[in-house]
Chains A and B, each alone.
Chain A
Amino acid sequence: MTHRLLILATLFALACPPASAAIGSRIWATGGVSTIEGSAGGGLVPWALLGSYASDEEWGGTLALSQAETDDYSLSVTGAGVNWNNRIELTVARQTLDLDELVFSLKDGFGLEQDELNQDIIGAKVRLAGDVLYSPWGQWSAGVQYKRQRDFTVPDAIGARDDSGTDLLLSASKLIFAAVFDRNLLVNATARATKANQGGLLGFGGDRNNGYEVMAEASVGVFVNRQWLVGAEYRQKPDNLSFANEDDWWDLFVAWVPDRRLAVTAALVNLGDVATLDDQQGLYLSLQGSF
């Protein structure tokens, strides 16, 4: 937990920097926020946007702390990213899933004593073409997320095949000016080839399916003004394990971007059934600092 406190302290330092400190030139909120997998996007769905505010002659970076609390689980994510010239984004994220209620069924059903699952994610995203604001066809990016389980005992026991996996992503994002009551509308679509179970927290591949599948993910948001974005996300998921059904995810979010240095995101998330525990709904909160 100490590393999370350190990052929190850094976030506060970033939020009140010396006035002269340089920060990227892209328009407010066009870096999105940090997803639970570290890549720039919303909360659950990565967008074609690259994190931070670096424009074509600039470097930028982000730090993020996120927490999701559903009925029977809590997920903590610490993430960081750098952006070179608004061309390449490199990200790292560590996820910790507290199993809470699942601890008992794991002990009774599998004789396993484990109360959390950890996963590391290294991501890279390249802006292929276009700009989310300025191009009629929007902005297009391709990305990879390499994910590695740090504790494979539980995923192994419930039928996952691998403790690591790589997601391949293709995303498009477009801001449509004055689209809804003269407000700007942000639309994002992502196709993800993946073998990950519950995003990788339950391993990769399974007894029911062990091949790559292409999943559809999308989000829409309306900028009430340049500081407030309200929207929804949907993320289709594979269903590789016969141990438990895996549902699609969705959320309703509001993001507040008071200036380029800070973004606060709150969401109502619905993760559906997760590892035999039904209908996981809850709250998501994320803090992001940019520099």
Chain B
Amino acid sequence: MCHHTTPRFTGLARRVLMLLAGFALAGCQALTTAPDSETNSNTEPTLYQQLGERAGLAQIVEDLLYLIVDDERINHQFKGVNVAEFHRHLTDQLCQLSGGPCTYSGRSMRKAHADMAITETQFNALAENLILAMEQNGIGTGAQNRLLKRLIPMHPDIRNL
């Protein structure tokens, strides 16, 4: 395959080169693990890119909403919510949080959840559904963890603690 592009390399040589590049990248990643640094070269995808950019995030949020509707632990908390608006706000929020070019324009987390009396059980249920939605969209474990890391600080605001 691809005989016309780089004829100087055999298939095996190219695979070895790619493997070496992979090791080099893994090394870079290990060296640049400053917590929230989004300084990346052109080769290493950002968290935003790993999540499929805004279109990918919109799909994740849509799948999340389907999971919420079926989840007896939390679906009552979403009664009367404008689904289209909620979808747009949450997608923007995850987009912005993952370093994408979006601006969340909804209410603050504390204000939005102030009167909902969200329990730990319900918070866990939503976290579980978000993880499942990411899995459904083939998001890797590392990218899932990086997004969760940025979401966790919202826990006290959402739980009104």
Chain A interfacial positions (CB closer than 8 Å to B): 25-28, 55-58, 86, 131, 133-135, 177-178, 181-184, 223-226
Establish whether residues A27 and B127, one from each chain, have CB atoms under 8 Å apart when the complex forms.
Answer: yes
Whether A26 contacts B149 in the complex (CB less than 8 A), given A182-B142, A183-B141, A226-B131, comes out as no
B30 proximal to A (CB < 8 A)? yes
Give A86 to B128 CA distance when docked, in angstroms. 17
- Is the pair A181, B30 in contact by a Cβ cutoff of 8 Å? yes
| Contact bitstring B9-44, A, C-beta under 8 A = 1, else 0 | 000000000000000001001100000000000000
A57 touches B121 (CB 8 A): yes
| Residue of B123, B145, B146 with highest tally of chain A CB at under 10 A | B145
| C-alpha gap A87/B5 in the complex (Å) | 63
Q: CA separation between A5 and B144, bound complex, in Å?
A: 40
Are A55 and B141 in touch, CB under 8 angstroms? no
**B102: min CB distance to chain A, Å:** 21
Contact A25 B125 (CB under 8 A): yes
Contact B119 A56 (CB under 8 A): yes
Residues of B within 8 A of A226 (CB): 131, 141
Q: Using Cβ atoms and an 8 Å threshold, which residues of chain A touch B26?
A: 181
Contact B141 A182 (CB under 8 A): yes
Contact of B152 among A28, A86, A133, A181 (CB under 8 A): A133
B residues contacting A by CB (< 8 A) are 26, 29-30, 73, 119-121, 123-125, 127-128, 131, 141-143, 145-146, 148-149, 152, 155
Q: What is the minimal beta-carbon distance from B37 to any residue of chain A, in angstroms?
A: 12
Q: Determine whether the beta carbon of A134 is less than 8 Å from that of B155.
A: yes
CB-CB under 8 A from A183, the residues of chain B are: 141-142, 145
CA distance A86 to B73 in the complex (A): 17
A134–B152 CB distance below 8 A: yes
Chain A residues with Cβ under 8 A from B145's Cβ?
177-178, 182-184
Extra pairs beyond A55-B119, A181-B30, A225-B141 (5, CB < 8 Å): A26-B124, A134-B123, A177-B148, A181-B26, A181-B29
Q: Nearest-CB distance from A27 to chain B (Å)?
A: 6
Nearest CB of A to B36, in Å: 10
Instruction: Please classify the interface of chain A as helix (H, G, I), strand (E, B), loop, or mixed, using the class held by over half of its residues.
Output: loop
Contacts of B120 in A (CB 8 A): 55-57, 86, 131
Q: Contact at B128–A25, with CB atoms within 8 Å?
A: yes
B71 to chain A, nearest CB (A): 10
Complex Cα spacing A229 to B13, Å: 35
Partner of A27 from the list B128, B141, B146, B149 (CB cut-off 8 Å) is: B128
A selection of 20 A-B contacts at a CB cut-off of 8 Å is A25-B73, A27-B127, A27-B128, A27-B131, A28-B128, A55-B119, A55-B124, A134-B155, A177-B145, A177-B146, A177-B148, A177-B149, A178-B145, A178-B148, A178-B149, A181-B26, A182-B142, A182-B145, A183-B145, A225-B141
- The answer to whether B146 touches A56, judged by C-beta atoms less than 8 angstroms apart, is no
B121 and A25 within 8 A (CB): yes
Closest to B135 in A: A226
Q: Which residues from chain B contact A28 at a C-beta distance below 8 Å?
A: 128
Chain B residues, Cβ within 8 Å of A177: 145-146, 148-149, 152
Q: Please name all residues of chain A whose beta carbon is closer than 8 Å to the beta carbon of B30 when the two chains form the complex.
A: 181
- Chain A residue numbers with a CB within 8 Å of B128 are 25, 27-28
Closest 8 A/B residue pairs (Cβ): A182-B142, A177-B149, A55-B121, A56-B120, A178-B145, A134-B155, A25-B124, A225-B141
A44, chain B: closest CB distance, angstroms: 27
What distance in Å separates the Cβ of B128 from its nearest Cβ neighbour in chain A? 6
Task: List residues of chain A with CB within 8 A of the CB of B119.
Answer: 55-57
